[in-house]
Structure 1
Amino acid sequence: MDFFKKKPTVEQQVRQNDRVLKKQQRDMTRDRQKLEQEEKKLELEIKKAAKQGNKQAATILAKQLINLRKQKTKSYAMGTKISAIGNQQKLMHSNMKMANAMGTTTKTMTEMNKVMDPQKMAKTMQEFSKESTKMEMTEEMIDDTLDDILCESGDEEEQDAIVNQVLDEIGIEISGKMVNAPSAIRGDLGESSKKGVSDSDIEQQLAALKDL
């Protein structure tokens, strides 16, 4: 049946060992207390034998007292040793936890390094930079082409009408603030296109807006 018994975990084994060590400490403490009681009895008996002048009995009792005290000293030393073993076990357990944590961290880093192929990432970033540059160049070419097409239309009157209409709208919104500013040419798109607007008129309108 012991073959099928489940092996305890490290934490369980540490707790079990700690219970055993504590029990041994308690047993040794009780033994020392008994030795101390016996020591006091021997001291009284030695004094009694000395008063009676019984040197032989006092000598025998003194030897027993010496052995008893040696035993008590050994008990204290063993108790210190057991306490040190308990502390050492706790330190070992703590080191094992740190080692396990390092092992888990190492495994995680290994998996991440497998996923994060530096060469592949560098290639991806290079391709991204390349395609981004091509897109910017394409956009610039399209913008230049559109500008050429619009400029080749030759419809300057229509452009003047649009500018004039924008100035009219601005003048309507801020008419109360443009008392001293040159008045914009008002009217719909058709009227504005007929009257037209000169470059100097536009400059005056913009200068007046800047002063607001």
Structure 2
Amino acid sequence: MSVFGKKTTVKDQIRANDKQLRKAGRDVERDRRELEREEKKLEAEIKKLAKTPGNKDAVRTLAKQLVSVRKQKARSYAASSRITGISCQQKAMGANVKLADSMAATTKTMASMNRLMKPEDVAQNMRNFEKAAAQLNMSEEVVNDTLDDILNESGDEEEGDAIVNQVLEEIGIEIGGAVRGAPAPAADSLAAEKTSTMTDDQLMESLAKLRAM
């Protein structure tokens, strides 16, 4: 549907209908107020005539008019209720239209994301990531092993135990008798172990492994 070449949307139609419903509701309320004024006027006239003898027919005629006015007023209340119900239904319809528009926009967004992020591409990226992570872990292990071979010297563990025991004794912590009574390594033995470091060939081989990674 279009007016003067302009396409009418559902929102435009709902807005126009709402405007008409509000106008109809105001018209019905105005008519009902007029009926209420007429009702009070008739009631007053009926009471006035009823006090005067000989006005029985006039009172009956005004009473019939009063009944008609009251029926018309009841119809106006029914019409107001009907207008209110239609307005509520239209508001619900407008909410559904907004919901449909939101769902359409969401669907379009999801479709765009699916075009950008294809499932097979995501799966391939995940496989590549896992492969790279595995290679990185392997490289890290090789580096750590090589550094341990270069830096590790015999006697380091024994010296570390001796330092720990000394610190524990200084802060007043009792250590086991076996550790306290353990014989200290001979000076000659320690000197021999300290001098037994890696050979030049082993050191060069380890450095070559690092450069090749």
TM range (shorter): 0.5 to 0.7
Q: Residues 67, 139 of structure 1: CA spacing in aligned structure 2 closer, same or farther, 3 A cutoff?
A: closer
Listed one character per residue, the Cα deviations across residues 76-100 of structure 1 (whole Å, up to 9, x for unaligned) are 1101211222222122111211121
CA distance in 1, matches of 2:143, 2:46: 118
TM-score (norm 1): 0.59
Identify the range of structure 1 (114-123 vs 71-80) with the bigger mean alpha-carbon deviation: 114-123
Q: Give 1:71 shift.
A: 0.2
CA distance in 1, matches of 2:50, 2:124: 100
Matching residue of 1:164: none
Matching residue of 2:81: 80
TM-score (norm 2): 0.59
Q: Give 1:3 shift.
A: 6.1
Matching residue of 1:44: 44
Q: Report 1:108-187 matches (<5 A).
A: 108-134=109-135, 136-137=137-138
Q: Give 1:72 shift.
A: 0.3
**RMSD of the TM alignment (CA)?**
3.4
Matching residue of 1:175: none
Q: Residues 49, 118 of structure 1: CA spacing in aligned structure 2 closer, same or farther, 3 A cutoff?
A: same
Unpaired segments of 5 or more residues in structure 2?
Answer: 151-190, 196-213
Q: Give 1:105 shift.
A: 0.9
Give the structure, 1 or 2, with the largest relative contact order (CA under 8 Å, sep 6 or more).
Answer: 2
CA distance in 1, matches of 2:142, 2:194: 34
CA distance in 1, matches of 2:80, 2:70: 15
Matched, 1:91 2:92: yes
Q: Residues 146, 40 of structure 1: CA spacing in aligned structure 2 closer, same or farther, 3 A cutoff?
A: closer
Listed one character per residue, the Cα deviations across residues 38-58 of structure 1 (whole Å, up to 9, x for unaligned) are 111211222233222322221
Unpaired segments of 5 or more residues in structure 1?
Answer: 151-197, 203-212
Tell me the secondary structure at the aligned position of residue 74 of structure 1: helix
Amino acid across the alignment from 2:32: R
Q: Give 1:129 shift.
A: 2.3
CA distance in 1, matches of 2:18, 2:58: 45
